[in-house]
Structure 1
Amino acid sequence: MTNDTAVPVAYYIYYRVRADAEREDAHATVRTMQAALAARTGVQGRLLERCGDDVTWMEIYESVADSAAFEAALRVETEAHQVTDLVEPGSGRHLERFVECA
């Protein structure tokens, strides 16, 4: 997706963490990936978990000005930090993009 309108984009990425994943290690992996992504793009991510369901996580990245560059960097850092290895088999990371209502 290219952000042709120069409207900042918010990214929401949710997934289920493997049942056998060590929670502290998984947190560290995602937070390290987010720090590397922030160093590349200037966009600081947040990591949340669903209330009452601590294996469903959401990464949030807001005010992304250059979607193409951000998504390329996200792919690189997700691979480099092996974040997909944390995802429950049979599921995946789901990425959603939102913009401010006009």
Structure 2
Amino acid sequence: MKTKSIRIPKDMMDAIELVEKEERIEESTARRKLIRIGFETYTGNLYKQGKITLREAARLLNLSQIETMNLFLDLGIKGNLDASDVLVSLDRFVTK
């Protein structure tokens, strides 16, 4: 794990302190937790917009594809396929 030094605005420090209190964890753990949540959300949005695949998202998050899909479902991200994409895939599967 790398050590980085960053400037954190007061409102973000307040958020970190809230997480520390609520979860009874150390400040460094609260920071890592909030960074992870932000990265998961950011990655989920990239997936939702079709900018990355589920496989790419799973690799970035260091999770399996099933774990990634479950995480995205928990975040309210249902996927980036519509009915026409599914029908095209099924048609390719049937014709081969």
Give the shorter-chain TM-score range. Answer: under 0.3
* Bigger Rg, which one: 2
Larger helix share, 1 or 2: 2
Q: What TM-score comes out, normalization by structure 2 length?
A: 0.25
Question: Using CA pairs below 8 Å that are at least 6 residues apart, which structure has the higher relative contact order?
Answer: 1
- Greater strand fraction, Structure 1 or Structure 2: 1
